[in-house]
Copies of this chain bind each other. A is one copy, B any other.
Amino acid sequence: MHDTAPAAKASAWLAQLAEALQGRDIPAAMELFAEDCYWRDLVAFTWNVKTVEGKPAIAAMLDATLAAAGPRDWKVTEASGPEPVDAWFTFATVAGRGSGIFTLENGKCRTMLTTLQSLNGHEEPLGRHRSNGVRHGADRNRATWSEQRAAEEAAYENGTDPYCLIIGGGQGGIMLGARLKQLGVPTVIVERNANAGDSWRNRYRSLVLHDPVWYDHLPYIPFPANWPVFTPKDKMGDWLEMYVKVMELTYWGGTECVSAQFDEADKRWTVMLRRDGRTITLRPAQLVFATGAYGPPKMLDIKGADSFGGKMIHSSQYLDGSAYRDRKVVVIGAASSAHDVAVDLWEAGADVTMVQRSPTTVVRSQTLMDMAFDIYSEEAVARGIDVDKADMIAAATPFALQPPKQRALYDRIRARDAEFYRKLEATGFLLDFGPDETGLMMKAYRTGSGYYVDVGASQLIIDGEIGIKAGVEIDALTPTGIRFSDGSEIEADVIIQSTGFQSMHEVVAKIVSREIADEIGTCWGLGSGTRNDPGPWHGELRNMYKPVAQENLWFQGGNLALSRFFSKFVALQIKARMESIPTPVYSTPLQ
């Protein structure tokens, strides 16, 4: 039987909170929170993606937002316990309906998540609210579905301005486009590649998603039950292309964004696009950068590069190893792409050496599957935790509380795979688990780099099939290879720089201006004060999914899971602006 005590406890607590908030009695509300408490709000109260930490910060947030948000109709929908009590709830604001999760420890709230789920009068046409698809009855002015679709597509080419323009038609842009479509926001997605899905197809031959299917669903059309656990890149490409068509997105392939300038007076962007050799100008109100979480390729500037007699490329240009059989190839870098490219080269018969410049967090894929994807799994689905529910669970833990949980997870992982790690380090490979031993996920949030989910490369390294050169600086290129600071040299016919990507704000610098890019600052990272993620502490991903220093400019991106979850909130923020719904952004003390 179901234990009803946690639900009663949760309902009683929520009723007290509701009453305090109703009476604008913030001290009474704060009585309900634990000392070490966190409130993460996704758009519902703050019109921002924001975590406030501690009682004073929560009180300040409520003080600033309560009047405009007008929260009411709080209701616990599900709870588990006895200690801590985890409770799911719904609520309403002046603007729309929301849902959330809170956690009670000793009767006090430790963590609170509030999310906006829909805007009043602008609910998505889903389920019983779906469109009819046809106006029954005869109509001499009938436009069929295909005629309407064609007219819609033609309009943008003939001078009609979309409300929103998304630069970048990879997974992030596509998912946001799908959400905006459902909300009735006229949107054009522009993508440099010819077809939707090419951003996956154009990568190296053997690329397969490192995350499992349960974590990778797109909104509205989940992958079917026969979908493989790890999606091959071309299959992913086909799915995205299908998705764009079936969701009826306006998607301009082969289109490059040349420049974008914001007109402060009429609050529209003037965006110059180059499409099939023609220049097109669109004037959207909202501009979204969805060009990939990590911006343009980052290339090392190495002394003596001119003298190098071989070929040097970035890993994003690498397709397959067929041309490199029996050649000496050096891969600079030791994160995901570097490992995948090294395996691909080894499979093609190349002589591969990986130059590792800094330590890498490595986790075996099966280990992650067994220990880290518990809420994104077939077992979770069987327990009733579908992807939307899992996303909420994942979002309910504030970033500040994740390091201890992750550290504990990696203690278990290191114990389980001790022998594997011992052999890997014996090759000279520099292994770490992050500056505070918190592992892969925290590295992903903080810098998006420095980790590898092992799907085969590590064994090749352990077996000596892929060489490792680590722990010594690159000094210069020579005509025949690389010389290191200790005087040692390795030969190379080909060098592949698998050195990552620049922040998305570099794309803004190129398209909008350096001044505005710098005003906005870098994207991604939490402000953890660890290597490559300088403080101050930010508590959310910098500049992602929320208002930034430049109005009407947004960043959307991240892996499939983050793109899926946050695309909803980006779409709601944009839709609210389109409908002139007041969106007072709470952005102190941090952005």
Contacts and interface: CB of A to CB of B under 8 A. Distances in A.
Contacts of A366: 136
Contacts of A138: 343, 346-347, 456-457, 459-460, 465
Given A144-B234, A232-B145, A245-B238, A459 B226 contact: no
Given A146-B234, A220-B224, A225-B126, A134 B455 contact: yes
B457 A234 contact: no
A326 to B, nearest CB: 13
Nearest to A218: B224
A142 interface: yes
B347 A229 contact: no
A391 interface: no
Interface stretch (A36-44, A164-172, A205-213, A561-569): A205-213
A208 B134 contact: yes
A536 interface: no
A349 B140 CA distance: 8
Contacts of A238: 245-246
A133 interface: yes
Interface in A366-425: 366, 378-379, 381
A231 B132 CA distance: 8
Interface string A226-252: 111111101100110010011100000
A134 B224 contact: no
| Consensus secondary structure, chain A interface | loop
A379 B128 CA distance: 8
A383 to B, nearest CB: 13
Oligomer copy total: 2
A130 interface: yes
The bracket for how many chain A residues form the interface is 35 or more
A381 B142 CA distance: 32
A277 interface: no
A127 interface: yes
Interface in A124-168: 124-128, 130-134, 136-140, 142, 144-146
| Residue with the greatest number of chain B CB neighbours at <10 A, chosen from A139, A144, A347 | A144
Interface in A74-133: 124-128, 130-133
A130 B226 contact: yes
A365 interface: yes
Interface string A338-358: 000001001101000000000
Interface in A167-206: 182, 205-206
A323 interface: no
Contacts of A128: 378-379
Contacts of A230: 132-134
A182 B232 contact: no
A163 to B, nearest CB: 19
A221 interface: yes
Interface string A276-309: 0000000000000000000000000000000000
Given A134-B232, A234-B144, A225 B127 contact: yes
A225 B220 contact: yes
Nearest to A460: B138
A178 B343 CA distance: 34
Contact of A231 (B133, B208, B455): B133
Contact of A459 (B137, B225, B242, B365): B137
22 contacts: A130-B213, A130-B225, A130-B227, A130-B228, A131-B226, A133-B231, A133-B232, A134-B230, A134-B232, A138-B346, A138-B457, A138-B459, A139-B347, A144-B205, A144-B232, A145-B234, A146-B234, A146-B235, A220-B225, A224-B246, A238-B245, A242-B245
